[in-house]
Structure 1
Amino acid sequence: MPQPRPLVVLALLIAWTACSGLWPALAVSDRVSSFRNQLSNNSLERELITKLVDKYTQTGLLGRPVNTTGDLLEINFGLAIIQILDLDENKQLLRTNCWVRYTWLDRHLKWEGERGYERFQNITQVRLEPDSVWKPDIQLYNFADTRPEEKRTARVVVYWSGEVLWHPQSLFKSTCAVEIQYFPFDTQLCALEFGSWTYDMTQINLTWVGYEYEPNQYEPSPYIDFTNYIKSKEWITDGQEDFEIRPSLRRRQVRSKMRCTRVKFQDENGHEYSRTYQRLVYKIRIRRNPAFYLSILVLPCLLLSCLTWVIFWLPPESPAKMQLGMNIFVAFFILMLLLAKTTPSAVRNFPYIGYFYGLNMVLITLSTFLAAIVLNLYMRADSRGPMHPALRRGIVDGLGRLLLVRQAVPLQEPSSESKPDPAAPDERRRQQQPETVAAAQKLQQKSPMSNFDGAVAGVAGGQVERDVREIRQLFRVYVGRLKDRERRCQAAMEWRTLAIVLDRLFFTAYVICILVAIIICLPRPDTEITEIDSVGAPETDSCQHMSAAY
């Protein structure tokens, strides 16, 4: 086999080395050409921006970007909320972090198909400084901020068709009427009103920004955008779960309204004329998260209310009823001070939980007085006379059986034979009542003592008869004392039963009052929000009629 020649091998080696060095050179050449094209595009964009700004400074910066004075400029306005920073109930201020979106058509910034802009047709959009173009003077009407500027600096995006998009970030501080009637289960409805400060409806038509529910399919969205919303720990909104639904199909989120205000002016000649100004009122409904307040305000209140029941469960003769009532009163007073620090003072309606605290304090005060009355009736029952029959029939027998007290107390039915006069002594009362005397005579006739008296009278003389009479008199006194003691015990039992019935009656009244108060304090649907929405609907129609008239 012939050996390869050295010259051929050397030639092949040189050719391979040349080819391997050619590919990196070609790659570097491509990169250089791409960089040159990028520099060319950047220079064209810079040249286009310079040309647009120079032209705009001469033609469009000092007035509305329209061809004639009578042209109406349409501005689409949208509001996207990012975060609820704070709701100050005392000052009634709402602080929010929002993104504001403006879109309008500026004829002076159009370069599509324009003469002299043929070299820039490959550029579809540019970014300009906001001070170099005209912007609508849309302001927050219900602002409550001391800062001169609410919006952060953001460039304006200009498309080749003349459409302008401005999307600045803003920190708004607006007024919000706070209602804490159902605190801590309250719901607040706040509004952010935006409108032009100087242009009326003949110059600017303020409309809702479009919502793209399908590719290239838009519809007006009269709602706050919650797409990038950061959920708050204290407040829950309706829109945070409803933002992905098409605006025309949303039901939970509160619909914003369009309002128009007609303002009358007077010229130099005394003639009156009016102008109509348009506003977009964005509404946001927020509900408080009550978890924190349930643990420090509601739960202690319910526990103290249940602890008040123990005052009525204690025996009537226990003096701890008074001490426990005063301790619970002090605890409710401390809760009232804590509530005063938590809720605003300048409100139209005081919260129901405050009324509930006050009701508990009033009931505890009354229960302490009533406990003193019950204790007095129970402890001094032995020194009191018999109860009036009407009082016994009405309270002891009537309410006692209704409250399941009379069934547990063995009281004797009042007899018509023994009704002594409470103003006379015991012996005199028995002598003045013929029924008692007749009963004693019958007892004497049936007693074997009468036979004994007859026998002794027949056998012995007057001394024995006097002794027997004395014994008989002592026996009558003893029997009378037994009956009187029984009557006093019966009267004391009746008064003690009256004390127990009153204690049970006060307990029932307290439970009923607390249950009614809890039912009243329970949160209800937001009726005020419905009223606001119903009021806003005619205003929208009036704006439509006004815009049609213009």
Structure 2
Amino acid sequence: MVPCNIALALLAITFLLIMMPPGSQQGPHEKRLLNNLLGPYNILERPVANESESLEVKFGLTLQQIIDVDEKNQILTTNAWLNLEWNDYNLRWNESEYGGVKDLRITPNKLWKPDVLMYNSADEGFDGTFQTNVVVKHNGSCLYVPPGIFKSTCKIDITWFPFDDQHCDMKFGSWTYDGNQLDLVLKSEEGGDLSDFITNGEWYLIGMPGKKNTIVYQCCPEPYVDVTFTIQIRRRTLYYFFNLIVPCVLISSMALLGFTLPPDSGEKLTLGVTILLSLTVFLNLVAEKIPTTSDAVPLIGVTILLSLTVFLNLVAETLPQVSDAIPLLGTYFNCIMFMVASSVVLTVVVLNYHHRTADIHEMPQWIKTVFLQWLPWGLGMSRPGKKITRKTILMNSRMKELELKERSSKSLLANVLDIDDDFRNVSGGNNASMTTSLGSGFIRHPTTIEEAAMPSTGTQRDLQNILRELQFITNRMKKADEEAEVISDWKFAAMVVDRFCLIIFTLFTIIATVAVLLSAPHIIVQ
């Protein structure tokens, strides 16, 4: 039984070998083909039938991934596949003569291949491609698809940071063959192939158009052809919006709340300085993303903020050493820092006004006019029992003039006692005495200082002592009232400055935030 089964198995194997197609016996044919093709082949020879003709090379690029965008060093790192296709005149054969062999895989160091390199490479080895085999077909068509990690230089424009778009070029061309010998042609008019692109978490890919350029360089009179692919990317702003812009807005609003704190709390200046330091930390985070050099033009308030920016750079020591531009986010932070720094200075002014006394400072007339009359009227502020209107301001000015005239016309005794000067003899015009009631009797009041100083009788001496005491008490009371009024005026002036700064800086913060955000080409890209 066993020999019968073995015989059946051998018969089946023989039948399968007879029925197999002849194409399966290609090992000897491929070896013979390689010997016939590569034996007389010269890898230095440009594969054209006529040396006066240029060899056309179709060039394409397949972008796989954006690995990194180094803004500081202005380098773009990508994972891409090159796609080169040309026709080699010396690599043609008749497939029927070699057992139906239609194509071969040959290592590139055995064949001629175009010396296409990336002109703007930033790689240490300059060429970052991996040498793969060349697929050669029987009609002479050669396909070379080397993958690689490409580091290309890219001019970073940080004007709109973090709402910026970047256009990074990848320029490919032959290093030694001019346009008369090797003609690069775009494989697809649409540009690069993005069908297998892996999305990046920080950058959104807009497109990758390609363009053919013919340039005559200074070194050589012949024209050189290159193909330039422009990687158009847009920064995803969601991270920066919620981690930089929103905290900055909240911190700036806290700076505005500092103007509502009473000066006696002792926390106004501390709050302003703390907020200024917090904004400096956020500005340092922005500075870490900015290139060391830039030729862009600042957007908003550069003339005002340039000196402040230079000072902050010297203090922080983290911003770029040379910078001709302020990014959009940096401009916004500088605007807010300018506002916070100004608020700290004005807070010092408010505290200084609040703690002034009549013994040390005398309030000038312009401060009274501006901070006690016109500015409170414009801000709608009033003191308890004193409503400030335009009519009251004009009436107060008129009353002060009349008071000065009245004081200059009254006698010394009337000014000292702050009474009406009704004891003068208006009808006679001479220094006659008049009587008035004092207690239960009548006392003759002197009409002149000389008469008051004459100790003629005991009554006159008593009257002189009483007047002296009354003058002392009156002066003390007037001085206390004047000091209290001056202190109250200084405190009210400090309150007016606080209210004025609150309104001005609130408007400044809102306008700066809206202007910066609206000037960006786009707000949020997820």
The two structures have a TM-score, normalised by structure 1, of 0.71
- For residues 458 and 275 of structure 1, the distance between their equivalents in structure 2, rounded to whole angstroms, comes to 125
Aligned residue in 2 for 1:312: 259
Comparing 163-172 with 290-299, greater Cα deviation is found at: 290-299
Q: Which residue of 123, 132, 142 maps to 2:101?
A: 123
Aligned residue in 2 for 1:456: 441
Q: For residues 175-199 of structure 1, what are the alpha-carbon distances to aligned partners after superposition, in whole Å with 9 as ceiling and x for unaligned? A: 1112223333332211000111122
- For residues 218 and 340 of structure 2, the distance between their equivalents in structure 1, rounded to whole angstroms, comes to 60
- For residues 413 and 223 of structure 2, the distance between their equivalents in structure 1, rounded to whole angstroms, comes to 99
2:265 aligned counterpart, secondary structure: coil
- For residues 443 and 416 of structure 1, the distance between their equivalents in structure 2, rounded to whole angstroms, comes to 27
Comparing 480-489 with 150-159, greater Cα deviation is found at: 480-489
Aligned residue in 2 for 1:9: none
1:69 correspondence with 2:23? no
Residue 98 (structure 1) shift: 0.7
1:108 aligned counterpart, secondary structure: coil
Give the number of the structure whose residues are more often helix, by fraction: 1
Residue 203 (structure 1) shift: 1.7
Q: Which residue of 341, 355, 364 maps to 1:365?
A: 341
Identity over aligned residues, as a percent? Answer: 26
Residue 144 (structure 1) shift: 1.4
Conserved 8 A contact 1:384-1:491: no
Equivalenced residue count is 463
Q: Which residue of 94, 116, 125 maps to 1:147?
A: 125
- For residues 130 and 56 of structure 1, the distance between their equivalents in structure 2, rounded to whole angstroms, comes to 13
Conserved 8 A contact 1:456-1:464: no
- For residues 408 and 162 of structure 1, the distance between their equivalents in structure 2, rounded to whole angstroms, comes to 101
- For residues 230 and 337 of structure 1, the distance between their equivalents in structure 2, rounded to whole angstroms, comes to 31
Q: For residues 126-167 of structure 1, what are the alpha-carbon distances to aligned partners after superposition, in whole Å with 9 as ceiling and x for unaligned? A: 222222221111111011122264221211112222221111
The two structures have a TM-score, normalised by structure 2, of 0.74
Aligned residue in 1 for 2:64: 82
Map 1:58-457 onto structure 2 (within 5 A).
Answer: 61-112=43-94, 118-120=96-98, 122-147=100-125, 149-210=127-188, 220-221=189-190, 223-238=191-206, 253=207, 255-263=209-217, 274-294=221-241, 296-348=243-295, 349-381=325-357, 383=359, 390-406=366-382, 410=386, 413=392, 414=396, 416-417=398-399, 431=411, 440-441=420-421, 452=437, 456-457=441-442
- For residues 423 and 185 of structure 2, the distance between their equivalents in structure 1, rounded to whole angstroms, comes to 109
Gaps of 5+ in 1: 1-13, 211-219, 239-252, 267-273, 527-550
Gaps of 5+ in 2: 296-324, 426-433, 445-456
- For residues 371 and 399 of structure 2, the distance between their equivalents in structure 1, rounded to whole angstroms, comes to 23
- For residues 111 and 385 of structure 1, the distance between their equivalents in structure 2, rounded to whole angstroms, comes to 107
Q: Judging changes above 3 Å, is the alpha-carbon distance between structure 1 residues 283 and 502 closer, same or farther for their aligned structure 2 residues?
A: same
1:282 aligned counterpart, secondary structure: strand
Aligned residue in 2 for 1:501: 496
Q: Judging changes above 3 Å, is the alpha-carbon distance between structure 1 residues 456 and 161 closer, same or farther for their aligned structure 2 residues?
A: same
Residue 259 (structure 1) shift: 2.0
- For residues 198 and 326 of structure 1, the distance between their equivalents in structure 2, rounded to whole angstroms, comes to 63
- For residues 403 and 472 of structure 2, the distance between their equivalents in structure 1, rounded to whole angstroms, comes to 18
Q: Which residue type is aligned with residue 497 of structure 1?
A: F
- For residues 26 and 361 of structure 2, the distance between their equivalents in structure 1, rounded to whole angstroms, comes to 114
1:154 aligned counterpart, secondary structure: coil
Aligned residue in 2 for 1:213: none
Q: Judging changes above 3 Å, is the alpha-carbon distance between structure 1 residues 188 and 148 closer, same or farther for their aligned structure 2 residues?
A: closer
Aligned residue in 2 for 1:524: 520
Conserved 8 A contact 1:405-1:500: no
Residue 263 (structure 1) shift: 3.3
Conserved 8 A contact 1:453-1:468: no
Residue 480 (structure 1) shift: 7.8
Conserved 8 A contact 2:61-2:80: yes
Comparing 151-160 with 505-514, greater Cα deviation is found at: 505-514
Q: Which residue type is aligned with residue 372 of structure 1?
A: V
Q: Judging changes above 3 Å, is the alpha-carbon distance between structure 1 residues 442 and 428 closer, same or farther for their aligned structure 2 residues?
A: closer
Conserved 8 A contact 1:196-1:278: yes
2:442 aligned counterpart, secondary structure: helix
Conserved 8 A contact 2:414-2:420: no
1:107 aligned counterpart, secondary structure: coil
- For residues 254 and 337 of structure 1, the distance between their equivalents in structure 2, rounded to whole angstroms, comes to 33
Q: Which residue type is aligned with residue 369 of structure 1?
A: V
Q: Which residue type is aligned with residue 279 of structure 1?
A: D
Comparing 253-262 with 355-364, greater Cα deviation is found at: 355-364
Residue 53 (structure 1) shift: 2.1
Residue 80 (structure 1) shift: 0.7
Aligned residue in 2 for 1:271: none
Q: Which residue type is aligned with residue 52 of structure 1?
A: L
Conserved 8 A contact 2:25-2:99: no
1:54 correspondence with 2:32? no
Q: Which residue of 489, 507, 510 maps to 1:515?
A: 510
Q: Which residue type is aligned with residue 501 of structure 1?
A: V
